[in-house]
Structure 1
Amino acid sequence: MRKIKLTRANKSILLKALAPYYYQEREFGHSTQEVGKLILKIDSLPADKRASFSAEEIHLMRITINRLRNERLSKGQYTDAADDMLLKLF
């Protein structure tokens, strides 16, 4: 377990990154239980508090945030918030 402090902006970025992944996995018929639990966990956490995450949860967050960042880069959009969140996860 690793503790990470989540600001309001980082919570928002995580939820924006995880939601499309959840729906994509659901569309393919894959299990969405772990992603769904992580979304609910992040959503229920108060901002600016430290929360513990497992290695699997952190791995899932890294993958989905990196996808969101790459999507934004391909569209020429601003990525500093996603970059900041990725740095917190390393």
Structure 2
Amino acid sequence: MMRKIKLTRANKSILLKSLAPYYYRERALGHSTQESGRLILKINSLPADKRASFSTDEIRLMRTAINQLRNERLAKGQYTDAADDMLLKLF
């Protein structure tokens, strides 16, 4: 099943900032990084301010990565509104 999400410049930036550490964390743990690597390339190549289709697996991965970024920022007492907004778009 595919779902369309509008990717603004801010949303693209948040997704890429959250997926990169997720990718390297999974790689360091010896887990497969194909799915996250492909998703990073896909998001990077998409134009901003357009609607893009994502599979349920891709959305699940984005939610996981953004939630990890959000939790890391909360633990440090940092601002999380942008990550929270992106998570709401994915639900």
Q: CA RMSD in A?
A: 0.6
SS in 2 for 1:62: helix
2:3 maps to amino acid? R
> Deviation per CA, 1:30-88, whole angstroms, max 9, x where unpaired?
11111000000000000000000000000000011011001111111111100010000
What is the SS of the residue equivalent to 2:86?
helix
Q: Normalising by structure 2, what TM-score? A: 0.96
Moved over 6 A (4+): none
**Unmatched tracts of structure 1, length 5 or more:** none
- Specify the code of the residue in structure 2 equivalent to 1:40: L
In structure 1, give the amino acid aligned to 2:82. A
Q: Secondary structure at the match of 1:3?
A: strand
Gaps of 5+ in 2: none
